[in-house]
Every structure is written in structure tokens, then in C-alpha cells.
Amino acid sequence: MNLTMLADFYELTMANGYFEHGVAEQIVYYDMFFRKIPDSGGFAVMAGLEQVIEYIKDLKFTEEDIAYLRSKNCFSEDFLNYLRNFKFTCDVWAIPEGTPVFPNEPLITIKGPAIQAQFLETMILLTINHQSLIATKASRIVRAAEGRAVMEFGSRRAQGSTGAIMGARAAYIGGCVGTACTIVDRDMGIPALGTMAHSWVQMFPTEEEAFRNYAETYPDNCTLLIDTYNVLESGLPNAIKVFNEVIVPAGFRPKGVRIDSGDIAYLSKKVRAELDAAGFPDCGIVASNSLDEYIIRDVLLQGGMIDSFGVGERLITAKSDPVFGGVYKLVAVEEDKEIVPKIKISENVEKITNPGHKKVWRLYEKKSGKAIADVISLADEIIDENKPYELFHPAHTWKRKVVKDFIAKPLQVPIFLQGECVYESPSVTEIRDYFQEQLGTLWDEMLRFEHPHKYYVDLSQPLWDLKNDLLKKYCSHCIVD
């Protein structure tokens, strides 16, 4: 499906205006970044880049698109002809998927003709915002599970088919072991998981018969849902009976039982004791039912005997904080081949943008490999690892720290150069593994759910000077010393 026309209408009206006023081909620079980490967490997870790349590769305006735009009576024929012959020629840099990221640093930077760079806004934002949000939420839930498997079970509660599919992809990047969404397994290789619903149990005259029929069908992978009627009085005794009479005689061991309601901490302890006493200490206990990182954490703190979790609606919708809040801002234009920085000023300090063409660095301690801070610099700056480097808070500039014995790594990599894709997207499993590796570079204090250690994103001195000069130029009534 071609998604070229999935754009805010003003992208097209502005493009027509650029065309009419002779600035359509003027080179501009845009940054996509976000301002706040969901759930007041310590970091977010970059996700969605592969789908942005696929969108850009497929950018074209069909005759049906042209006819529709003509019907709006607000576009010139010359502009429509420009769209008919549209060819993407921008440069794109981005932080790879699976990288922990922080507010205000450019996740994606676009350089190219004004019409083209402007037009990408909607799809870049909706794609990166959605998948980064879900990957970030999944990471929190997986960390709460403390090494126990987490399965994404949210398809039926997602906001539409794309929300289910791309949400499952993002959840896998964030650490989930698989998904209930079958099409994601078929198309992306993310393991599809699942057993039975309560309707299976209700379809048969008795719970025991339902369990027996399922066990006979899947003796080598039998997990039974035991809370349709009563976990301890009915579900568990019937499951144990079927395990003994069907699964074991067939030469297999039961995989598990699932609890989908009630007091999971209490029930799981009772179920674990009964399974162990019946000779099934290797039978796992799966918990589901509107879980999130806080409920999982509390269940485990209360001694819950859970081996894996199925998490649905609160993951696939990021229910506790469902807006990632990424923005797409013009930061520079070229005039006579000179980069002229642009700034957006607001009475809300957090909405003041960082001007100019920039790059993002991550500084790591050589000894521990842990991340120290990120630095946003101008694109032509180099951070020399062989010299001490002074970090300072971009707002409270008296807060300074000199770092030594560090490694400086640019985070953005080239994705498109002059419109040609120069980047090969890793598999989703490779992205997932990369995220786990990068997670190890963060200090434990940053992984807390409440009041995590603040990780600083600093500005280089030249970028800070540039921003300060522009604030003085455009906002002379402000105190910016």
C-alpha cells in the first residue's frame, strides 16, 4: 500500500506555496526529536526507522493522487506536474533502532529541498512516535519481570491493524519474547505464541473434557487455562488429572498453566505448591490479565510464583502515558551554500529548539563502558577522545564537569545520501539484541521506574553560543546571560 498521501494537508499547501514563491528547491534542515520520556522514565528506545525507510523508498504521486489534489482547487497545475515527476533527493541521518535515546537530541535529521523535507513530517512522526513509545513501554515491563519471559498479547486492544502489527514489532525490540499476532510471525519472524481462550473451555460439556481434548491435540506443548470457573477448586485439579492421564502417558511433560484473573500473587503460590506436590515442578505458570510493569513488580514482591507473563492492552496502547510527543522542526536553511541556523522561540523554555545542522555524540567511560552523557554539537565539530572534554548543563551553565579517559561515538548514521538509500536495516531480532547490548551501557540507577537518575544531554560550547546569540537577536527583552 502506497502511503504517500498519508500526510497532513498543510504539508501540501505549504509545498504549493514554496513552489509558487520560488523556494521549493532551497536546501533546508529538519530535526525530529522528542521532549519528554514516557512515564517519567530514565530513557526511551528508538524504534520505527525501518518503516520510515520503506516509506521514503516508495514515495510517489499517482495519477489518482494528482486528480484528487486537483479537485481541491488550491494547487497550481505547475505544482501538480512537479508532484507527478517527484523524485526524492534528500540526505537523511538517523540514530539506529534499539538505541536508548533522550530528550532534545535529533533522532532523525533531514537535509534537502524544502518541499521534500517538509513533506516527510507526518510519516516520520507517526512512525517513530508510535514504535518508540511501545518499545519504551515494553522495556519497562520486561525489566519488571526480572528475567521472566514477557509475551505481547495486545492485538485485540490495539488502535487498528497497523497499531497491532507495528506495536508487536516494537514490543519485541523492547524485549518481549514473542507476540499473539500471527501475521507478525509470518512477515517478520517474531515468534507467535498462544494456547487457548476461555471459549475453548466453555465449548465442551466439562472443563476436564476441554482440557483432555486440548492435551490430546497438543501433547508436546500443552498449557491449560485454569481460571474459567475456579482456579483452585476446579481448574488446577482438572489440569493435574489430564497431565497424569494424557500428557505423561504420551511421553511428554506439561508446559504450563495460565491464570488470567483473580489475585495472581496468591493464586500462583497455591498453584505452584499443588503442581510441585503432584510431581510437576517443571510445569510453568503463566499470568495475564491487564498487567503492566507496576503490577508485575508488585506480584513478584509479594512472592508470586510466575514463570512468564502475557501483557496486552497496557503494553500495546502504552496506557499509562500514551503519547511519545516527538516533533519535527526546521533548524537551518542554506543561502548561497551557507548554512543559516533557525530557531523556534517559546515562553515555554522546553520548546525552544536547538538551531543549526547538528550531530549527537555519546560519551562512554573507557574503564566501565558505561555512558557518561550525550552531547549535541554542530555537524562540523569533532570531540577529541585524547583531550579532556568539559560538559556543562545547557540551562544551568555553572554546573560543569571535565571528563577524561572516554570514548566519543557519533550516534547518527547515514540513511539516504542524495536520495539513495545507503543503509541496510538489521533484522528485528538483531535490533532486539542490539538494544539489550546497549541497555548494558546504562547505569542501574537509570533503570528505576520512579525518580531514575537523570542522564544529561549537553550542548557543545559552539552550539550553546550559537543558540544564545540567536536568542539575543530575536528575543532582546529576554534575559539570556
In the chain, how long is the greatest CA-to-CA distance? 84
pLDDT in tens, 425-437: 999 999 999 999 9
SS3 158: coil
pLDDT in tens, 147-204: 999 999 999 999 999 999 999 999 999 999 999 999 999 999 999 999 899 999 999 9
Write down the pLDDT at residue 350.
87
Q: At what angle are helices 121-144 and 160-173 packed, to 10 degrees? A: 50
Smallest Cα–Cα separation from 44: which of 355, 418, 318?
318
User: What's the DSSP call for residue 63?
Assistant: H
CB-based contact 314:290 (threshold 8 Å):
yes
CB-based contact 65:84 (threshold 8 Å):
no
Q: What residue ranges of the chain have pLDDT lower than 70?
A: 476-481
Q: Is 376 left (phi over 0), alpha (psi -120 to 50) or beta?
A: beta
CA distance 328 to 324: 13
Determine the topology of domain 9-134+322-474 in CATH.
Answer: nicotinate phosphoribosyltransferase (3.20.140)
Look up residue 281 and give its three cell numbers: 515442578
Write down the pLDDT at residue 461.
97
* Residue boundaries of the structural domains of the chain: 9-134+322-474, 195-289
Write down the pLDDT at residue 1.
77
Per-residue b or e along 254-267, where b marks 16 or more CB atoms closer than 10 Å to that residue's CB: bbbbbbbeeebbeb
Give the chain's end-to-end CA distance (angstroms, integer): 52
Smallest Cα–Cα separation from 258: which of 244, 241, 271?
271
Instruction: State which CATH number among 3.40.50.720, 3.20.20.70, 3.40.50.300, 3.40.50.11540 fits the domain covering 195-289.
Output: 3.20.20.70
CB-based contact 145:296 (threshold 8 Å):
yes
Strands 284-287 and 256-259, by their bridges, are parallel
Q: Which amino acid is at 237?
A: P
Task: Tell whether the torsion through CA atoms of 135, 138, 144 and 150 is positive or negative.
Answer: negative
Look up residue 183 and give its three cell numbers: 501475521
Write down the pLDDT at residue 477.
58
Write down the pLDDT at residue 155.
96
CB-based contact 288:310 (threshold 8 Å):
yes
Look up residue 142 and give its three cell numbers: 520486561
